[in-house]
Amino acid sequence: MNRIAVMRVWRADLALGIGLEHASASESALEEVFLGIETADGITALAEVRGNGAYATGADTATILRQTQEIVAPALLNCALDEASQRLGSLPVAPLVSALADSALHDARGRATGQPIWRLLEGRGAASIPVHAQIGFCTAKEAVIRARAAARAGFRRLKLRVGRPSPEADIAVIYAIREAVGERMAIAIDCNGGWDVETAGRVLRAIEPCAVAWAEQPTPAGDDDALRHVRAATVIPIIGDEAIRSGRDIDRLARAGAIDGVHLKLEKAGTVAALIGLVERARAAGLTVFLGQMDQGRLGSSMTTHLAAGIEADAYELWGFQNVTADVATGLDIRDGAMIVPQGAGNGMEVDMTKLELVGEFG
């Protein structure tokens, strides 16, 4: 039986050509943590998550490194690949740490069997998956330039970050983009919890003529009444993101009539099995389901792409490496507004290991 013989942890910072700017973040680089697995049979696997996104995942880079080295590695060493994910699910670690480890385990199982991860999930085998381009905080003029560039690149949907200190600036940018792209592109917005109830209601009512497809997390997570009041104030569908970290959150917000759908991420669910469970729970509650990820490099984005090819959802946010200038990984590309699904074994990616800094080795 193929057992885990060695585990290694690496770090790298991925510089961004356009900084990550929204209501909860202002970053010029992505802090990436990589976990490698080597089996007794010589199979090597690798996975990646982003550390400087604790506003959404609840775990920073230091937490990922500490829990991976002190809890995950001792628990999984010498464990059979087929049993490791189940053991991982019982460990007292942050969901983001579980996501990193389970991504590596799925890569290892895929490489051991010669199958892409999406096939292990009994996926539909899509060659490509339509995604949306993202536009962070910027001027209306710059937003229009980026929107038109996305349209020329074949994207059919934009997600615009909102929640600026000036609500009027948000409104102006949305109207400018709609005028620039016409009706050929869908426009969604993501506030990352940056508005209060009054501001959210006022802005959403003001932009209803722009045919906004959905509004993601308009008010801070943890205030169910705020989301419910906002949903009652607009015809724009309300999607929960930062507010959704468990099945209990889905059930509670659905019963309260606070959301129309959920944006689910492996980084918040923990394991692949847990993510599938959340999708099923949201479906049972009659909610729209979006599958996405944090901004991260190609290796991390490849895992979400495999999940998207293996799990049915209503929309996908997969372009986490949109603004990365010098990635360490190759094998994942976007064409005509769609992510090309890797077909190689495991995650199907190649990584330049010389660009990673080894942090720890176990086994």
Mean pLDDT in runs of 10 for the chain (363 residues)?
93 95 90 98 97 93 98 98 95 98 98 96 88 93 96 96 92 97 96 96 98 97 96 98 95 98 97 97 98 96 97 94 96 96 97 98 96
Whole-number pLDDT of residue 1: 61
Whole-number pLDDT of residue 178: 97
Whole-number pLDDT of residue 25: 84
Cα 202 from Cα 207, distance rounded (Å): 9
Whole-number pLDDT of residue 47: 98
Strand pairing partners for 158? Answer: 133, 187
pTM comes to 0.96
DSSP notation for 233-297: T-SS-EEESTT-SSHHHHHHHHHTT--SEEEEEHHHH-SHHHHHHHHHHHHHTT-EEEEE--S--
What are the residues whose beta carbons fall under 8 Å from the beta carbon of 236, sequence distance 6 or more? 204, 207, 208, 212, 214, 215
Whole-number pLDDT of residue 125: 75
Whole-number pLDDT of residue 124: 76
Whole-number pLDDT of residue 339: 97
Which letter does DSSP use for residue 163 in this model?
A: -
Cα 173 from Cα 193, distance rounded (Å): 18
| Ordered structural domains, the chain, with CATH | 4-117+352-362 (3.30.390.10), 128-350 (3.20.20.120)
